Amino acid sequence: MLSRFAPRAAARSALHAQNQAAHIVRATPVTCMFQARISQRRGYATPAEERDLVIIGGGVTCIEKRGALGGTCLNVGCIPSKSLLNNSHLYHQILHDTKNRGIDVGEVKLNLANMMKAKDTSVNSLTKGIEFLFKKNNVEYIKGTAAFADEYTVAVNLVDGGETSVRGKNIFIATGSESTPFPGLTIDEKKVITSTGAIALEKVPKKMVVIGGGIIGLEMGSVWCRLGADVTVVEFLGQIGGPGMDAEISKNIKKTLEKQGMKFKLNTKVVKGDDSAEIVKLDVEAAKGGKPETLEADVVLVAIGRRPYTAGLGFENIGLETDNKGRLIIDSEYRTKLPHIRVIGDCTFGPMLAHKAEEEAVAAVEFLTKNYGHVNYNAIPSVMYTHPEVAWVGQNEAELKEAGVKYKVGTFPFSANSRAKTNQDSDGMVKFLADAETDRILGVHIVGPNAGEMIAEGTLALEYGASTEDIGRTSHAHPTLAEAFKEAAMATYGKAIHY
């Protein structure tokens, strides 16, 4: 997407670039709205105090309505969901997977309130950590809801009452995204929930139906399945994990999740829903037409995707427009048609991933302060934190076929990896896709234990244009799960040793 590339050494730290600016006004990454707060030792900004940069939704005078820093990812997304995923996995493992390990346990009970407390403790600790960093780096933080008053002025309705405004020579918009609602169902975060409600249920549902078999639906569905819910996932497509996940990997994780108790209805669409009674009813049928069926659940998780949060931000006051998906249109340097206003993260193009937004923040600040920046959109990893985890970077087979690229495939199963076998956690595989002629790595796909950590090696290899032979000839410690990564690479250009 970017036409200008920076030397890697020059594109390391957005924070360093920000600290060089005289007064940077920045907002925390938020999924839902413009938000802002000022640190206690500084007065509220006035229209006369013009800033060099105002960032709405991202970080240095912070317009943040939520009342806690870190945006969706930290408050109601990545971080709390990973706490529940980790702790629900421990509970499920103690309940079902100790006897064969020589560990005898007594009665195992779920204390859901304490599990939620552990999640909240993690979130609060991290949000307070950001507040500390703000104070340490003289970051101004305004708590309130903001909208454009004019091209250079952001008006803020303060959470504690009153109003203020901030002027900026430059303004960044980083307002994130929100859950896409399902027509006909009313989200109350109790009975019909989004991911926000899924991390805060007060009891384990007897039956849960998940509309959407993408990453969020599978992660949250697996949490409640482990804790005892009867979970059914309804997915319009013919595979789970979303279109970015390699089809072979998708089939592999589906089998594993089914063994754990999750049920799937693929190639199935939800025609309508009725949430008027205590039990929610969903009418479903085959995506291409077929016999209808009614599903019932005491909790329905709507996980059909996310949409950019761009409503209510006063764009009509400055002439900014969005495309048919609600995304703000930008050029190769993240500028809107008003060059002093730039956009990063979920509210513009690209995958809705926190680390993608972070890379764009670095590049956008460097474009502003140094006139160059760099993000390699072909090397942005994705991770699904089920157990086993699924992770990938680069292209999948379907994308290579569509592009007409000649490629070769190499795989290695964790069932042949000594560490995975010893850990009694050997479901899954590592898969490489490489150019048929040059052996350059085009994509890496992993389903298995610790996949989310292992994908970093694949991302680094892709970033630096490595071949599978480069990986295969690099020593990997024994015994480690990462040896499966090396052997899958060897299988791509030659032959694996242990399979």
Q: Which residues are catalytic?
A: 478
Place of tokens 């956008």: 364
Q: 10 Å Cβ neighbour count for 136?
A: 8
Identify the three-state secondary structure at position 412. strand
Contacts of 391 (CB under 8 A, 6+ apart): 381, 382, 383, 384, 445, 446, 451, 452, 454, 455, 458
CA distances from 220 to 57, 245, 445 (A): 26, 18, 22
CA distances from 67 to 19, 131, 163, 178, 243 (A): 24, 11, 16, 17, 35
CB 486 within 8 A of CB 472: yes
Segment holding 107, helix H or strand E: none
One-letter amino acid of 478: H
CA angle 198, 202, 204 (to 5 degrees): 75
Q: 10 Å Cβ neighbour count for 117?
A: 11
CB 309 within 8 A of CB 176: yes
Q: How far apart are CA 232 and CA 184, in angstroms?
A: 20
**Tokens representing 149?**
């008053």
Place of tokens 């390391």: 12
Contacts of 373 (CB under 8 A, 6+ apart): 2, 4, 6, 11, 333, 362, 363, 364, 365, 366, 367
